[in-house]
Structure 1
Amino acid sequence: MSDMPARRRWWTRWWPQSLLGRLSLVMVAGLLVTQVAGSAIWATQLRARADADARSAAQYLGQGAASSIRFFRSLPPSYRSLLIQQLREMGGTRFFVNLNRAYVPVPPIAPNALADTALATVDATLRKDLQHDQFRLAFAWPERLAVSPDGVHLGELPENWVRHILLPKPDPAPILVIQTELEPGNWLYMATLMPNPYFLSNNDPLSSDRLVLQGLSLAAVLLLSILVVRTITRPLAALSDAAEAFGKDEHTPALPVTGSREFVNTARAFAAMRDRIARYIEDRERLFISISHDLRTPITRLKLRAELLDDESLRNEFEEDLDELDMMVKGALQCVKDSDIHENPTDIRLDSLIKRLVRSAELAGHSVAFDGTSVVVRGKPLALKRAIGNLLDNALFYGERAEISVREVDGWVEIAVRDHGPGVPDDAFPSLFEPYVRLAHGRERNDGGMGLGLGIARGVIESHGGKLLLANHPDGGLNSVIRLPA
């Protein structure tokens, strides 16, 4: 169980985060696995067929060699040289034949399973047909092959002796050499080619030309696959950018209604949704403006009538209810007004923006510590100033003095506003962003507030693609951290 988190971290580290990367990785991995599995199956079948062909060809060759050995054994020793000379003058037979006084050492080719199978089959065939003879078998390359004990090589022989039997050039093939002792001191030397001279290279599934061909085909398929995946994911990226810009209240051009049928339907649905949300926001603004206009007059009229009441206790109750109603109306209007700030995003120098807030707080008699910064973010200046201002006001109201710091961390800009108050109970954090929620010590120090500042600040920060994090500072007080994209 302890290895699971480590494996999960390894997996997430190498797993791409973008759809293009994930689809490309899956397609590349699928193609590679398919190519490797197909090549393995094909190589297995090719090796099996090559092994069967080599056994059949070697058996046929062994039977021919056994017949030739029996024929030369039946001739008188004095006739053998004459017959070999006649065969050479006539162009030879299937075998290049030579008579030697001793065994000729043959430098074998590199170990090869197919060549070993052929040698074993030839040896078994010869032993079956010639039961009492001993044989020396080997495959050799023409340029290193000696044909006599005195060191005469194949390349030193007349061309007409070997050109119809062996392939010394231009593309040499491995030569099968069979040597057997006819009588003491008389060795028969036979050299020939397999029926398929290039049986070792033609049946190699990992030959360079085949690997190059498979590599080119795989590269072409992968390139086309990646292009197709990119074509599919590009509209999704445009849709994501449009949704993000709309969430930040930025005006972006309409999505192109082109491409696949699914994307066209999605683009149309997104455009319709964006229009409906825009109309809803406009209707909400008009509604609250109407509420502001319609409720102020009757509230004022009720306050005037309450002044005419003779019963003082009843008059005070009416005035308290009307003040509470007036506060709720003003709070709702302030919430809408502070959240819907229509301005274009621009580059904001946090140093100058925060210093203006600090200067205003100091003129009001508060103590704010700020060391300055050179960080620049992109956003809406008035909205961001209102969000930071709300956090600073809370810190000064409930914590006596405040500290503001700015730093860049892992692609984020963090603006921390810390107060030196009593902090917030752990069970109260989930409700801090709800409207009209105020803690006990907040009501004591700021009885004119309405508990809307944190909710407004969070809405503004989230519209900038950021987060508002609240936590008690280890040294006391509440630490409010704004995280904005760098």
Structure 2
Amino acid sequence: MKRLVPQTLFGQTLLLLLVGMGLSLLAGSWIYVSARQEAVRAVGGLAAAERIINLSRLIEDVPAEWRDRIIAGANDAAFRIRLTANQPTPPAVDALIPEAEHFEAYLKEALPSHKVHVALTDDGRAAHVGPWRHHAPWSRMGRGPGGPMAGPAEDQGPMMHGPFARWNMSWRALHAAVELKGGQWLEFSTTLPDSGPTMSPRLILALGVMAAMIALLTAWAARRLTSPLTVLADAAERLGRDVRAPPLAVSGSRELRSAAQAFNEMQTSLKRLIENRTQMLGAISHDLRTQLTLLRLRAENVDQVDDRDRMLKTIGEMEDMLTATLSFARDEATSEMGKRIDIGAFVSSIADDMTDAGLAVQTGPIASGVVIECKPLALRRALTNLIDNAVKYGGKATVAMRATTTQVEIMVDDEGPGIPEDQLGRVMQPFVRLEESRNRDTGGIGLGLAIAASIAEAHGGTLSLSNRCEGGLTAVIALPK
């Protein structure tokens, strides 16, 4: 079920709105159809009642010799009239519809001096339409091969022919009898529509057009509401890689403008913080280097050669530590401008340079023709640190590179003892060394991997370490294309 739910905010918003709109359309259609059915019943019943009332008054008021002619003229396929001398027998039906009482009350109110009998049945078969089945008028008024009621004698009614036959409509049989002056009875038989066509082609077309318009407007609205979040996410990602990235454009609704302004203010504060930190580190570096230079000058004046060499070596190590620490603290990768380079040729050149320097470095498969945007000086430093560590702790380094559709992976393998699994994440933290002696000849100062990880993150990538099955360690820098 979760796989059917969109994962993006736009998809979820669009789905929610469309489901809501769809339910609203269904509810509206149901209300419309229900109201239409009630209107059809009311209009059909009122028209039949008025016709019965008017014909009863007319036939009662005209001379007796005119009555047959009027009845013959008023008869049609959908409305049957018969003049009888005896009171008709009520029809034998399974159930009477309650509306028959209201219909009869309406006729009695309009014809107060007449006896009125009404039966309204809902058995779903038009053949039951007639005054009462044992003397249905159309059984003697044209039914047969050539009559107007031709067809299955007991299965079709007057309203089931012509255009009505194409409609998905249900009918109710109306039987009414009105007593005239002199004791004669007028019997009326017709059918009343119980419901109109529930889903006419015009209604289906209208619903389809409305659904399409609502879907388009909903998609546009959902995209308009969610697209600023995508812009904000992209800006935050750019800021993570480069604090000097262009600020967000302040536009859109009041809430979006407020969010963009807050984001730009945060970016300005971060930029100011980094600039202040860089200035402070520059001042510290200048003061410390000044003192180290004085120490070096004084050490060179020491007469004892062994003491002088040890002092100069210690001062050199302190200078190297100071340079590495300040470089890491300044995060120089964030200040370098990016450029597009052939990353395969770039990696090969670094491996060749370190081989020329006398290190045991070889190249593995390296993808060619892959161009990405990066900060070459910072990336060179990161790869140099990884290769240097591989040679120092594994004896030999193998450099390879592969490219996928979304990223570039640079691998540095060594043949050393590897790193315990529970220490793989810890060794990338600043000043962490697995070799605890703090001897510069065996363990460095613990910044090489931390600097490489920081540079990879500044490119929007990652540095990961894993032990090889055949022994040794693999360091992988993954960079986005």
The TM-score with structure 2 as length reference comes to 0.68
Change (3 A) 1:92 1:151: closer
User: Is this contact kept in 2: 1:16–1:22, CA < 8 A?
Assistant: yes
Partner of 2:111: none
Instruction: Please report how far the alpha carbon of residue 442 of structure 1 lies from its aligned counterpart in structure 2 after TM superposition.
Output: 10
Q: 1:397 aligned to 379, 392, 395, which one?
A: 392
Partner of 1:74: none
Residues 444 and 301 of structure 1: is their aligned pair in 2 closer, same or farther, counting only changes over 3 Å?
Answer: closer
Separation (CA, whole Å) in 2 of partners of 1:338 and 1:166: 90
Structure 1 residues 32 and 280: alpha-carbon distance in aligned structure 2, compared to 1, 3 A threshold? same
Q: 1:315 to 1:465 in 2, by over 3 A?
A: same
Tell me: CA distance 1:176–1:297, structure 2 relative to 1, closer, same or farther (3 Å).
closer
**Structure 2, unaligned runs of 5 or more:** 83-119, 152-157, 176-186
- Give the counterpart letter for 2:10 in structure 1: L
Distance 2:37 2:196 in 1: 15
Distance 1:477 1:461 in 2: 22
Work out whether residues 400 and 421 of structure 1, in 8 Å CA contact, stay in contact via their aligned partners in 2.
Answer: yes
Q: How does 1:284-363 map to 2 (within 5 A)?
A: 284-305=277-298, 325-336=318-329, 339-340=332-333, 342-363=335-356
Partner of 2:386, secondary structure, is helix
Return closer, same or farther for 1:46/1:446 CA change in 2, 3 Å cut-off. Answer: farther
Task: State which drifts further: 304-313 or 214-223.
Answer: 304-313
Deviation at 1:316, TM superposition (A): 10
Given that 1:368 and 1:404 are in contact with CA atoms closer than 8 Å, whether structure 2 keeps it comes out as yes
Q: Determine if contact 1:436/1:451 at 8 Å carries over to the other structure.
A: yes
Quick one: which of 412, 428, 431 aligns to 1:433?
428
Aligned counterpart, 1:209: 202
Contact between 1:472 and 1:479, CA under 8 Å: does it hold in 2?
yes
Contact 1:176 1:191 in 2 (8 A): no
How much has 1:48 moved relative to structure 2? 8.0
Specify the alignment match of 1:482 in structure 2: 477
3-state SS in 1 of match to 2:428: coil
Question: CA 1:22 to 1:345, structure 2 compared with 1: closer, same or farther past 3 Å?
Answer: farther
Which amino acid in 1 is paired with 2:209? Answer: L
Matched, 1:423 2:418: yes
Pairing 1:377–2:372 present? yes
Q: Does 1:26 align with 2:16?
A: yes
SS of the aligned residue for 1:384 comes to helix
Residues 321, 393 of structure 1: alpha-carbon distance in 2 compared, 3 angstrom cutoff:
closer
Q: Deviation of residue 337 (structure 1)?
A: 5.8
- C-alpha distance in structure 2 between counterparts of 1:382 and 1:348, whole Å: 12
Q: Output the CA distance in 1 between the equivalents of 2:203 and 2:80.
A: 34
Count how many residue pairs are aligned between Structure 1 and Structure 2.
Answer: 411
Name the counterpart of 1:87: 71
Q: Equivalent of 2:123, from 120, 125, 139? A: 120
Match of 2:268 in 1: 275
AA matched with 1:353: F
Q: Which amino acid aligns with 1:120?
A: D
Task: Give CA deviations for 1:248-293 in whole Å, capped at 9, x if unaligned.
Answer: 2275543222221111111111222211211222222222221121
**1:261 correspondence with 2:254:** yes
2:428–2:450 Cα contact (<8 Å) kept? yes
Q: Which residue of 2 aligns with 1:366?
A: 360
Taking structure 1 as reference, are residues 404 and 43 closer, same or farther at Cα in structure 2, changes over 3 Å only? farther
Q: 1:118 to 1:212 in 2, by over 3 A?
A: farther
Report the Cα distance in structure 1 between the residues aligned to 2:403 and 2:136, rounded to whole angstroms.
81
1:68-99 Cα deviation digits (max 9, x unpaired): 9xx9xxxxxxx9xx98666335676973479x
The one-letter code sitting in structure 2 at the alignment partner of 1:35 is: L
Query: Does the Cα contact within 8 Å between 2:340 and 2:371 map onto a contact in 1?
Result: yes
CA deviation map 1:207-259 (0-9, x unaligned): 33223323333333333333233223333333333322232227554322222
Contact 1:361 1:368 in 2 (8 A): no
TM score, norm. by length of structure 1: 0.68
Helix, strand or coil at the partner of 1:233: helix
> Which residues in structure 2 correspond to 1:25-174 (within 5 Å)?
25-40=15-30, 42=31, 45-46=34-35, 49=38, 57=45, 87-89=71-73, 95-96=79-80, 119-120=122-123, 134=134, 147-153=142-148
Distance in 2 between the 1:317 and 1:392 partners? 29
- State the 1:437 CA deviation: 1.9
Matched with 2:453 is: 458
Matched, 1:468 2:460: no
In structure 1, what is the Cα distance between the partners aligned to 2:439 and 2:327?
22
Question: Structure 2: how far apart are the matches of 1:360 and 1:442?
Answer: 31
C-alpha separation between the residues in 2 aligned to 1:126 and 1:274? 84
Which stretch of structure 1 is more off in the superposition, 414-423 or 426-435?
426-435
Distance 1:310 1:378, change over 3 A: closer
Task: Indicate how the Cα distance of structure 1 residues 475 and 335 shifts in structure 2: closer, same or farther if over 3 A, else same.
Answer: same
- Look up the SS of the partner of 1:378 in the other structure: strand
CA contact (8 A) 1:435 1:455 kept: yes
Question: In 2 relative to 1, CA 270–39 (structure 1 residues): closer, same or farther, beyond 3 Å?
Answer: same
